Amino acid sequence: MKAPMTVDRSRLPVPGKTPPFHFPAIERSTLSSGLRVWSVRHTSIPVATVMLLVRRGSADDPPGKEGLAAITADMLDEGTGALSSIEIHEKLARIGAQLDSDIGPDATLFTITVLSRFLQPAVSLLADIVVRPTLREEDFARVRQLRLHRLMQLKDMPGAVADRAFMRLLYGQQPYGHTPLGNEASLTAITVDDVRAFHAANVRPGDATLVVTGDCLHAEVEALAASFFDGWTAGTGTPLPVVGELPTPPRLNVIPRSGAPQSELRIGHVGVARNTPDYHALVAANMVLGGQFVSRINLNLREEKGFTYGARTSFDFRRLPGPFSLQVSVQTAATVEAIHESMHEIAAIRDARPVSVDELSLGVAALTRGYARNFETAEQLARAATQLALYDLPDNYFDEFVLRVEAVTVDDVTRVAQQYLSPDRITTLIVGDYSAVSRGLLTLKLGVPSMLAADTF
């Protein structure tokens, strides 16, 4: 009989080594049109996910037509061939599927998840929707009106107002200077002919990757793609949008909301692109600064001061330099002190209070301990593969993520904080009751606030 195990409950157990993770192999081929076809075997359950990534997003909107990429994506399932929108979705329902579309600054993603035995009709429907939409005038008028109504709703949401205004402050009229929805003036100016032209010029196989994960062979996936995407106008991948000189926004900006009980704050500056060699060190640094519940900024503003339910920071890594931002909603009376404390924490992590070994260990553990859970389902695997396709990452990126994050040192974190966090470039946006905080803002020494109107964005 074995002796009972002795457990010391007075101290936490020592974590073991993080088990290695291996991303499943990706099989690849390219059709004559330029469409890349990728497949990943996932046989645990009979489910397949089909994703079509098109590397064109809101950053590709022409000047004055902001929102065009998104409304084009919205229009694709409004009809194809002889099928109406209702008939398309009835066909999807008959195979237990739903079409999802996501549009961001750099790409548009279409997703269908079905039982494996319905893979063929799923790919067929997706191809018809994306490649052969009808793009009718009457459908366009309705979709555009819905988007204009959505803009009206967002004007009553301080967080949405802050997000839209902050991007314009950081980027001006440059590709990332607006959200995918666009604005009232641009949506009103867009016509169905603009949508047709954008679809013809930008939804091209040379910019697209079809990713299928599930219990299927690559030869089957390639045959389905060749059959159903046949006739898609060939085209080569287009270069990234041209970026001109970025604006230098005022240090302090205010969108007044009289009587608002809270202030929405956005604090930050333009950061760095996804292809930076310092990606892993920056991710680790952000975990300490504001990327998790026990981050410095959240512990300061929420746990110590009681100003907010939560504060967070992020580097939004994109194909071009994306924003670094701090997002928080605080009590109106705490607005000035919250800005001061936030600016102090951003500056302190660079030199006055560099990251400690314990802080870094906690941040690394949060990034790595549950990492494998991100790849359990067919949809998670497909979405991960699209990240490789979007950012031109190597096949071993996911295999090496944990190792590379665990290799980050305190010196690495301090170096990237000093290099990529620039207190002198930081701009602050307040959406809140200006009359209640105006006097206190003078103590921040950020200059005369620039007063903005919410309708501008």
Tokens of 431: 């959406």
pLDDT tens-digit readout, 10-23 = 887 777 778 888 99
Q: Is 66 within 8 Å of 72 (Cβ atoms)?
A: no
**Residue located via tokens 């004559």:** 32
Residue 353 phi/psi, 5-degree rounding, is: -140, 75
pLDDT at 363: 96
- Per-residue pLDDT of 277-317, as tens digits, reads 999 999 999 999 999 999 999 999 999 999 999 999 999 99
State the average pLDDT over residues 328-351: 98
Write down all domains in the chain, each with its CATH number in brackets: 26-228 (3.30.830.10), 252-456 (3.30.830.10)
Residue 402's pLDDT is 96
With 90 as the cut, is the pLDDT of residue 372 above it? yes
Burial of residue 344 (CB within 10 Å: 0-12, 13-18, 19+) is middle
Order of strands, sheet of 311-315, starting from the edge strand that comes earlier in the sequence: 311-315, 323-331, 262-270, 427-432, 252-256, 450-451
Angle between the N-to-C axes of helices 410-420 and 279-289, in degrees from 0 to 180, rounded to the nearest 10: 90
> What pLDDT was estimated at residue 19?
80
Percentage of the chain surpassing pLDDT 90? 90
* Confidence category of residue 233, pLDDT binned at 50, 70, 90: confident
DSSP for 217-267 reads -HHHHHHHHHHHTTTPPP-PPPPPPP--PPP---SEEEEE-TT-SEEEEEE
Question: Are 69 and 241 a contacting pair, CB within 8 Å?
Answer: no
Element (H, E) at 324: strand 323-331
Q: Which residues contact 302 (CB under 8 A, 6 or more apart)?
A: 308, 309, 310, 311
Q: Give CA–CA dist 79/142, Å, rounded.
A: 13
In what helix (H) or strand (E) does residue 142 lie, and over which residues does it extend?
A: helix 137-154
pLDDT of residue 241: 78
User: What's residue 457's pLDDT?
Assistant: 78
Residue 179 — very low, low, confident or very high, per pLDDT cuts 50/70/90?
Answer: very high
pLDDT on residue 238? 67
For residue 207, the number of C-alpha atoms closer than 13 Å in the C-beta half-sphere is: 22
> What pLDDT is recorded for position 88?
95
- The backbone region for 197, taken as left when phi is positive above 0, alpha when psi lies in -120 to 50, beta otherwise, is alpha
User: Mean pLDDT throughout 258-276?
Assistant: 97
- Tell how strand 36-41 and strand 26-30 pair up: antiparallel
Q: Within 13 Å and on the Cβ side, how many CA atoms surround 16?
A: 2
Decide: helix, strand or coil at residue 147. Answer: helix
Looking only at the bridges linking them, the beta strands covering 311-315 and 47-54 are unpaired
> 315 by DSSP, 3-state: which?
strand
CB 364 within 8 A of CB 281: no
Whether 234 shows a pLDDT value over 70: the answer reads: no
Mean pLDDT along residues 382-386: 98
Radius of gyration of the chain (CA): 24
pLDDT at 146: 97
Q: What is the mean pLDDT of residues 390-410?
A: 96
What share of the chain has pLDDT > 70, as a percent?
Answer: 98
- Residue 420's pLDDT is what? 98
Residue 1 pLDDT exceeds 70: no
Q: Taking Cα atoms as reference points, which of 107, 58, 110, 70 lies closest to residue 387?
A: 107
Mean pLDDT of the chain: 94
Residue 243: per-residue pLDDT: 76
Within 82-136, residue ranges assigned H as helices are 85-94, 119-131
Q: Where are the alpha helices (DSSP H) in 392-433?
A: 397-406, 410-420
Provide mean pLDDT across the span 237-254. Answer: 85
